[in-house]
Each structure stands twice: as structure tokens, then as C-alpha cells.
Amino acid sequence: MFRYAKIFAGLAAAAVLATNAAAQAGAPDAAIAAARDWRAAHGAEILRGFSNLLAIPNDANDAANIRHNADYIDDLFSMRGFEMELLEIDDAPPLVFGSLKTPGATRTIAIYVHYDGQPTDDAQWTHPPFEPTLYSRAITEGGAPIAFPKAGEPIDDDWRLYARSAGDDKAPIPALLAALDALVAADIAPTSNIKLIFDGEEEAGSDHLDDYLSAHREKFNDVDLWLFCDGPTHQSRRPQLVFGVRGVTGLEVTVYGPNRGLHSGHYGNWAPGPGWRLANLLASMKDKKDRIRIKGFYQSTEPLTEADRAAIAAAPAIDDDLRETFGLAATEAKGTPLGERIALPALNLKGLKSAEVGDKARNIIPPSATASIGLRLVKGNVPADMLDLVEAHIKRQGYHIVREEPDAATRVAHPLIAKVVRSGGYPAVRSRMDDPAVAPVIAALRRAAPDLVLTPTLGGSLPLYMFKDVSDAPIIILPIANFDNNQHAADENIRIGNLFYGIDAYAAVLTMD
């Protein structure tokens, strides 16, 4: 272990003595070639090591196994010459921090990965979620279980490895390890100082991440670029580099009818039904052209830059294929492309509840009806302000807003009552695509993936704003998982070709000009 660390440190020191140490001309190309040679020779070893990591349960609420994951990851990178540290806060998963200094480097990149995963229901999985199983291709495509390859045996890019967190988000860990191993084997040193952040509670909300970053601000104040390794590749199956994520917030709205269930034969057409009230309230929030009618909802949205618009226009056309995949005859806004729609704030109806349906339905007018509403935010939207706009709209529809269950006096005083319970949330973050600091990343990745897609923002959300508070460096997202990886669901998986692309991509970025 210590010999390996000295080798890596020695390579970094040797880079300073090179005649043209500044960029190691052609380094990304050489690094990518080294990565491909390494995975061709060590593919079986990479898959077996990944399987060992995936076999460790990683629900953020399972303190013992989360600690096992943290210690395991700490050891893996210590063996590669990183100075590793488990940062601790009471009753929180450890934040695994690592640092590798490259003599002569003038840039520091910080790489973020989360090692926790979504909770699992074993009954829904084809195989137990923490017994990694290799398949000849996707289960949905008729794949069958196969044995893990032996050293030197060929590996098919279309194989799938099934386990919790195979795609979200342990895959970057073996890919990064293999890239580091390949560089050492080829005598290629990194061109940047490297910092590592492994989050153990992202799927549980990263409740303590802000505290960790604030308490250890000095570890991050020299970061020049944040690289988030999470999320899927483009729906076209092409690699992508993403420059932002949406923010998120939400609220739950309950409207009321009678104070008890009433027989609909005796009181229908007389006692107001809360289900109808809620349906009308929700319908008032969107017009027939799918534009949100809440006053001011789009006003704070920061316009896309010319570079953003050019990237959206240049992205592969995927909407027709997605419609077929998802069984949709039409999409919102008269078929406006997905890339444009996720650049706007969205109002999503997450769930509705008013009495029962099917065999459990009864002839009653229920006392209440509830809707869970989610907001996806874009750059410029402040979560609390957006919720204020929604509440103002509810008031304009004649509703008296309460925060607790209304008492008898409130019920008889106000014809329309809405209990509004807000959830937390965070703002969107989007880095400029033309920022000079990200140009070397784009150039290096295009050496590994000439068909790279540049995407202004993901549709999903990540708490990137916390990192903006620590360092004003640009934040970009480099996903490697296949877009059909069953993220958060049963039978989560990684396509092996995507894992191997990650090795190439990280090797390129670690040696970028």
C-alpha cells in the first residue's frame, strides 16, 4: 500500500522536472490510451472490486454499514497516495475527504461522489440488492445471469451489473480508481491538485453537508473547479457534461368540506365536495397551453445565455423516441423540446388524496382532499418566494389559508379553507458554459467522447448551492451511468460500457491542459 503511494507521489514530482511540465502536451490522449489499455488488461479485476463495494449495504440510516462503506473507500484511495480523512459530526454519516497534491500544479479540482443509496425493498428485486449479479444484457432485453469474468477474459460493453447504487452513485468510485491505476502504470502524472468528497447521506437529503462544508471551509477555499460525478448520461445514450441542476421545493395543500363524511345520496348537491374544490383549485394553476398561470411564476427566471441556447439546439433530438418509450401521444406546450422545458420552473402534482377508489370507494362526501405539489426551480428562483407566489394564487381563488387543522369556529367563518404546509428546498445552480475554467474539461472529454453532449441543466436536483457558498468556482456535472439504470428503483444497474467510459473520462480530466 505504501509503496503504491510513493510511486504516485513520485510521478507527480517528476512532472515538475519535465521540459514542458505545464500541460504535458498530448496528456489527455495518452491518458485515455492508458485507461483503455488498463481496463482491457484488468477488466475482470475492476468488476470484482466494484462488486465488493456494492455488496456493502448503504442506506444512510444504517450507521454501521455506512461506516463500513466510509472506511472501505478511505482505504481504497489511501492505497493510491491520497491523504484521507473521515470528517465527523454527531449522528451523521462520515464525510470522506481526500487530497492529492501535484507538485507544480496551479489548479485544484474537487470531485464529489455520494456513497449512500436509496432504501431497498428486497421483494421487488430480481436478486437481493446487495448481492451484485452480472447479466449478459439488461433484464428487460432478455439478459441472463452470467459468471463474473476471469482475468484476461473478454468483457462485453452491454453486460449489466445489478445492485443498489450500481448506477447511483458508486459507479464513479471504481472508475476513478481504475483511471488512477492506469496513469500510474503509464507513468503519467495528473495536471491538477485533486480533492475528493464522498457524501454519505445524499439520498437522505444531505442534511449535514452544509455543516461539514462550513466547519471545514479551509479545505475547499482553493478549489478552482467542482466536478460532480452523479446522474445519468444523455437520453440519446451519448455522454454528456452538465452545467447545472434545478432547485426544488414544494407544499401540501388540504381543502375542506363537511367536518365528517356525509352520505352522498342525502347531502350530494348540497354539501360541497372537497375533491371538486381541490380539482378546480389545481386546474386554475395551469392553462390549456400548459403555461403556469400563477402570477409572477416565471418572472425571476434568469434567461439562458447564448451558449445555453446553442447547446440546447445542438443536442440530439430525443423527444419522439421518448414519447414512444413512455407511451405518450403528445407532450406539453405543443411538443416544445424537453431541453427547453426543463429550463423553466415547473409545477408538478406529486399526489392526490380524497376518500377511496375502486372496491374501497363509498357513497360519501369526504371531509377533506389533499394535494402534494412539487416545484422544480431554475436559476434565479428563490424557493420561499416561489411558494409565496403559489400561496398568493390560492388566496386569489378565495381561500383562507391556515397552517394547522381548522377548528370549528374557522370552519363556519370561511367558506373556502386551505391548509398549506411548506416543505424545505434549495435553489438551482447553473454555471456558465463559456466560463474559461471549464474549457479544459470540455476539450479533454471530447478526446474521450467526440460525441459529447453539452447540457445547460439537468431536470433533477442536487444541493449544489451549498458548494457555491464555500467557493465561487464553477460547478459542472460529469455523469457516467446509463440513462436506463433504474435509479432509485428495484433492479438498479450499470451498463459495463458506461463504467468503462467513466475510466476514460476521468483519466482525461485528471490530465487536462
- Average of per-residue pLDDT across 6-13: 54
Q: Work out the mean pLDDT of the chain and round it to a whole number.
A: 93
pLDDT band at 237 (very low <50, low <70, confident <90, very high): very high
| Predicted pLDDT at 469 | 84
The C-alpha cell at 297 is 411564476
pLDDT band at 19 (very low <50, low <70, confident <90, very high): very low
What one-letter code names the amino acid at 285?
M
| Predicted pLDDT at 461 | 85
Alpha-carbon separation of residue 262 from 108, 270, 369, 445, 451 (angstroms): 66, 11, 14, 64, 62
Note the pLDDT tens digit of each residue in 170-205.
999 999 999 999 999 999 999 999 999 999 999 998
pLDDT band at 3 (very low <50, low <70, confident <90, very high): very low
Note the pLDDT tens digit of each residue in 347-364.
999 999 999 999 999 999
pTM (2 decimals)? 0.88
Could you identify the residue written with the cell 398568493?
392
pLDDT band at 345 (very low <50, low <70, confident <90, very high): very high
Helix (H, G, I), strand (E, B) or coil at 291: coil
Triad 40, 21, 181: Cα angle to 5°: 25
pLDDT band at 21 (very low <50, low <70, confident <90, very high): very low
Q: Which helix (H) or strand (E) holds 311?
A: helix 306-314
- Give the C-alpha separation, 439 to 459, whole Å: 23
Helix (H, G, I), strand (E, B) or coil at 398: coil
pLDDT band at 17 (very low <50, low <70, confident <90, very high): very low
Residues 6 or more apart in contact with residue 146 via CB below 8 angstroms: 134, 135, 136, 159
Sheet holding 453-455, edge to edge: 83-87, 95-100, 193-199, 108-114, 225-228, 475-477, 240-242, 453-455
For the chain, which domains are there? 2-245+429-510 (3.40.630.10), 247-301+344-422 (3.30.70.360)
pLDDT band at 20 (very low <50, low <70, confident <90, very high): very low
Note the pLDDT tens digit of each residue in 27-48.
899 999 999 999 999 999 999 9
- pLDDT value at 253 more than 80: yes
Could you identify the residue written with the cell 447547446?
311
- Give the C-alpha separation, 176 to 100, whole Å: 13
